[in-house]
């Protein structure tokens, strides 16, 4: 996004007060700024100005800043502010955000970061981190309000006011029984409209939609989107309330999953953005590309095996890039459609077969259109009906196969609970290159006597 004049002036003002070391002036500048804007200012600063920037921030502002940084940036900030202040910030963070920050770090580093946290906060954090990654248990927050079935409306409102600062959302109060099992939910609206002495059990909603701690986070996102919930309770196998997942948690999930899918589709596997150093970006892209480079050598060996065919009909070489490129393009298009569909829809065998049949028809229609067009071009260019037939039929077959490959591969991966995005665009393109060349030269060899 292009910066306007005000943004540039604000950036210059912040850099100047940091140079001058004017803490009070700095805090006056950013006091009414949204945490997202503060994070953007931090990211846009020269590296040498960042330590003083975070030092001048209050604990609350610093905690909010971390929510808009990636894991590497968060850890850098924590190292910058030192262990004492880091402990205060970690205790102010939501447990699910903290669990995401610490996931994947070496055990010694995790222990060092949380060593000075309060015992209760540390136990809650470790409890959340015991759940598998990308599950509701790992994503949930323990900052919610519960009330007992014996409460009155008046008691519930008093508790809500008392714990207002500790709760992520005040939209719902979750009702539990003596065994801490979830039995109902009360909305803030229900409390406002009810009489003060009314019993919670008389006004609560008994019909509940919950998710288990082991439910995949993408499934949680679908449920919240399906029912337009602001939050959803998380229960264990005994229906004990253990946390909630809020709509902002879901937005974080969607963004992270989208980024991961894009990274896998690009065969980089890890985040690369505008600030990534060239050496790091190259290192993250190279592994997949080197693998595909060797797979691509298969294409070269195929061409060498049909060298005699090429020597006899040189015009075939002209259409090679087009055949391979079109096949890869259709495969990548189908892959994108399927990956997107898997995020928004529940796929069973019936739907999968329907999708596969639809993509087959799409491949046939696209193939026929392109095949007829290229056959005419080949005939007009070389005056050979047989060359047009060979190129057109090859393109028809390869486009159908490319479309099916882009559909079948992610469906198979999904069936085995593997992220379909790992069927990266470059991988499908390389496979389709090999298949398209085999088909193209195979058909050309069959008609070689007619082509000469």
Give the residue-averaged pLDDT of 267-290. 61
In this structure, of 73-82, 144-153, 308-317, the range with the lowest mean pLDDT score is: 308-317
Whole-number average pLDDT of the chain: 83
Report the 10 Å Cβ neighbour count for 354. Answer: 12
Using the predicted structure, report yes or no on whether residue 109 has a pLDDT greater than 90: no
User: pLDDT tier at 429 (50, 70, 90 boundaries)?
Assistant: confident
- In this prediction, residue 306 carries a pLDDT of 74
Higher pLDDT, 38 or 346: 38
CA distances from 169 to 146, 296, 335 (A): 12, 53, 38
User: What would the pLDDT profile of 372-390 be if each residue is shown by its tens digit?
Assistant: 999 999 888 888 888 889 9
Using the predicted structure, report yes or no on whether residue 447 has a pLDDT greater than 70: yes
Give the residue-averaged pLDDT of 283-290. 65
User: pLDDT tier at 194 (50, 70, 90 boundaries)?
Assistant: very high
Do 317 and 440 meet the contact criterion of CB atoms below 8 Å apart? no
User: What would the pLDDT profile of 118-174 be if each residue is shown by its tens digit?
Assistant: 888 888 888 888 898 889 999 898 888 899 999 999 999 999 888 877 666 678 899
Highest mean pLDDT among 165-179, 337-351, 362-376, 434-448: 362-376
Give the residue-averaged pLDDT of 323-350. 76
- In this prediction, residue 175 carries a pLDDT of 95
Cα torsion 364, 352, 431, 335: sign: positive
Report the 10 Å Cβ neighbour count for 412. Answer: 13
In this structure, of 59-63, 138-142, 314-318, the range with the lowest mean pLDDT score is: 314-318
- In this prediction, residue 450 carries a pLDDT of 74
CA distance 382 to 396: 20
Give the residue-averaged pLDDT of 97-123. 83
What is the share, in percent, of the chain residues with pLDDT greater than 90?
28
User: pLDDT tier at 1 (50, 70, 90 boundaries)?
Assistant: very low
CA 350 vs. chain centroid, Å, equals 27
Using the predicted structure, report yes or no on whether residue 245 has a pLDDT greater than 50: yes
Task: Kindly give the pairing relationship between strand 146-148 and strand 182-187.
Answer: unpaired
182 strand-pairing partners:
176
User: What would the pLDDT profile of 176-186 be if each residue is shown by its tens digit?
Assistant: 999 999 999 99
- In this prediction, residue 211 carries a pLDDT of 95
pTM above 0.75, yes or no: no
Do 130 and 214 meet the contact criterion of CB atoms below 8 Å apart? no
Higher pLDDT, 422 or 339: 339
**106 contacts: CB under 8 Å, gap ≥ 6:** none
3-state helix, strand, coil in the chain (%, to 5): 70, 10, 20
Using the predicted structure, report yes or no on whether residue 188 has a pLDDT greater than 80: yes
Of 401, 408, 251, nearest to 327 (Cα)? Answer: 401
In this structure, of 52-56, 236-240, 254-258, 361-365, the range with the lowest mean pLDDT score is: 254-258
Report the 10 Å Cβ neighbour count for 387. Answer: 23
Highest mean pLDDT among 84-88, 109-113, 282-286, 416-420: 84-88
In this structure, of 57-66, 188-197, 219-228, 237-246, the range with the lowest mean pLDDT score is: 219-228
CA distance 352 to 358: 10
């Amino acid at each position: 996004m292009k910066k306007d004049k005000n943004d540039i002036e604000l950036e210059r003002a912040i850099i100047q007060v940091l140079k001058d070391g004017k803490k009070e002036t700095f805090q006056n500048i950013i006091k009414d700024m949204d945490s997202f804007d503060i994070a953007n200012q931090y990211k846009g600063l020269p590296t040498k100005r960042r330590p003083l920037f975070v030092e001048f921030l209050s604990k609350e502002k610093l905690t909010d800043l971390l929510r808009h940084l990636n894991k590497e940036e968060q850890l850098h900030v924590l190292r910058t502010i030192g262990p004492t202040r880091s402990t205060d910030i970690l205790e102010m963070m939501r447990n699910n955000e903290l669990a995401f920050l610490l996931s994947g770090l070496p055990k010694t580093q995790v222990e060092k970061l949380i060593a000075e946290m309060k015992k209760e906060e540390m136990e809650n954090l470790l409890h959340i981190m015991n759940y598998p990654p990308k599950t509701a248990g790992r994503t949930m927050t323990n900052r919610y309000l519960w009330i007992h079935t014996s409460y009155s409306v008046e008691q519930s409102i008093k508790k809500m006011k008392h714990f207002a600062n500790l709760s992520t959302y005040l939209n719902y109060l979750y009702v539990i029984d003596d065994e801490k099992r979830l039995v109902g939910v009360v909305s803030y609206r229900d409390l406002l409209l009810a009489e003060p002495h009314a019993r919670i059990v008389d006004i609560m909603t008994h019909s509940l939609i919950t998710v288990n701690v082991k439910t995949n986070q993408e499934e949680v996102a679908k449920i919240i989107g399906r029912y337009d919930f602001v939050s959803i309770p998380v229960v264990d196998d005994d229906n004990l309330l253990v946390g909630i997942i809020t709509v902002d948690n879901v937005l974080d999930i969607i963004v992270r999953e989208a980024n991961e899918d894009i990274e896998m589709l690009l065969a980089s596997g890890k985040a690369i953005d505008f600030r990534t150093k060239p050496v790091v970006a190259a290192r993250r892209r190279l592994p997949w590309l080197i693998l595909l480079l060797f797979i691509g050598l298969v294409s070269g060996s195929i061409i060498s095996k049909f060298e005699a065919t090429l020597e006899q009909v040189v015009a075939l070489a002209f259409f090679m890039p087009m055949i391979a490129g079109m096949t890869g393009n259709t495969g990548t298009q189908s892959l994108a459609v399927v990956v997107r569909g898997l995020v928004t829809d529940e796929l069973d065998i019936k739907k999968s077969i329907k999708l596969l049949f639809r993509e087959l028809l799409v491949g046939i229609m696209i193939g026929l259109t392109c095949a007829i067009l290229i056959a005419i071009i080949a005939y007009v260019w070389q005056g050979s009906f047989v060359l047009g037939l060979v190129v057109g039929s090859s393109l028809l077959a390869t486009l159908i196969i490319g479309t099916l490959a882009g559909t079948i591969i992610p469906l198979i991966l999904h069936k085995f609970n593997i992220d379909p995005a790992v069927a990266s665009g470059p991988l499908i393109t390389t496979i389709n290159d090999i298949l398209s060349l085999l088909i193209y030269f195979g058909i050309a060899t069959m008609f070689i006597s007619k082509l000469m």
